[in-house]
Amino acid sequence: MPGPNTYQGMQVACAARQAQIRGVRSGSGRSLSESTHMIDLSHIVKKGVYGAERRNFRDKLAQREHYLRLDLNENLVGLSREQLESLLSTIRPETLSAYPDLSRIYRRMAAHVGVGEDQIVLTNGSDMGIKTLFDVCIGKGDHIVVHQPFFLMYAHYAEFFEATLDRVPVREEDWRPDAQAMLARVNSRTKMVVVESPNGNLGTSLTPQETEHMAAELARRNVLLVIDEAYLSCERDHSDHLPLLERHGNVVLVRTLSKANGLAGARLGVLVSTPAIARELYKVRSLYEISALTAIVAEWHLDHPEVLEDYRNTVRAGKRYLAEQCARLGIGFKDTQANFVLLELDPGQETELCASRLKEQGILIGMPFALAQLFGWARITVGDPTHCARLIGAVEALQRDRTPA
């Protein structure tokens, strides 16, 4: 049997361990990782993940509630109190206690999109839909073609999966994706070509003829064409790309209810494709791809299309106001097919300083563009009249600060 000294040593060690755990839980003392033997994570973690750098987005999101958020193209209008109460009335106790039955929302969403139920896969936001595409289609050494600028998650997932992301700058004259240049980059390792329609940074798109040609050419070469339609609902519901699914069989549409529908917090993405592709995408879903709460919120919005139309009208009015004010102030203005506009806040220069000055006034705007041809321009989310007026007041202040005495 162990002697008293052994027992005493065990008690001391146990007490020390409990104190350490309490310190970790309370946020004080050393963290667990600092006090335990470190294994060689590079031997265990996938190379693409281990070598990646990614910022902690939680801290940034926690700070945003104190600002006017014109940076991430959220729906800034939201529901009225009456609309919110109507939505909440549809939630029952079993909504929280039972595993979600998603058959109803699949039927409703398929009907809303205008395809069969076997042609859609629901995901936790469109970024998880994009990861689903990578899970199914992309492996180490594969090649993906995108236009630049593009949605950042394509770059992250390419890195994690050890794939090559080939960035083709948008055309200088009109900032539209360069379809011919993108096709010219396709090679024997290319699995996927991605176009955003409209572009989530610039609001531009390929023409229907260019998209048709791209789909046909990529189908001939057995390459997937991913059309990211995250901002489609900002102006309309129906997509001109739906016929491509049947004509070419290599097209996947990526959608979300985060932007115009105002459900960024609910997290609902939709992948739309042929039944054959959807069947493969469906295999890698989590056991319950969205929550019951998300399904109920989405269904309520589908039942109340007037909410979306009111938002569209608000954005249209905001764009008109901003165009008028920018003309008055001599600021470059570009409208888009999305819920944001582009303003030339600092011609020929990066807008980082402008973004910093606006943040000091409590306003967040999109990150500065990396392409030299876009220097000076900033992406600005369009809100209601109060939001737009506050932005213009802050921009006028910037102009006064730059004007020599």
Query: Which residue ranges make up each domain of the chain?
Result: 57-73+306-402, 81-303
Tell me: the pLDDT tens digits for 318-341?
999 999 999 999 999 999 999 999
Q: Tell whether the model's pLDDT for residue 27 goes beyond 70.
A: no
Burial of 255 (0-12, 13-18, 19+ CB in 10 A): buried
Q: Give the angle subtended at the CA of 249 by the CAs of 244 and 254, to the nearest 5°.
A: 65
pLDDT at 22: 46
What fold, for 81-303? Aspartate Aminotransferase; domain 2 (3.40.640)
3-state DSSP assignment of residue 107: helix
Whole-number Å distance between alpha carbons of 88 and 90 = 5
Distance CA 251, CA 25 (A): 48
The model's pLDDT over 56-75, given as tens digits with 9 standing for 90+, comes to: 767 767 777 889 999 999 99
Q: How confident is the model at residue 21 (pLDDT cuts 50, 70, 90)?
A: very low
pLDDT at 394: 96
Cα separations in angstroms, 1 against 4, 5, 6: 10, 11, 10
Amino acid at site 375: F
Q: Is the pLDDT of residue 14 over 50?
A: no
pLDDT by residue (tens digit) across 263-316?
999 999 999 999 999 999 999 999 999 999 999 999 999 999 999 999 999 999
- Global pTM reads 0.88
**CA distances from residue 254 to 152, 213, 257, 321 in whole angstroms, order as listed:** 15, 19, 11, 31
pLDDT, residue 31, reads 56
Alpha-carbon gap, residue 183 to 221, rounded angstroms: 11
Q: What superfamily does domain 57-73+306-402 belong to in CATH?
A: Aspartate Aminotransferase, domain 1 (3.90.1150.10)
Among residues 104, 106, 126, which one has the least CA distance to residue 116? 106
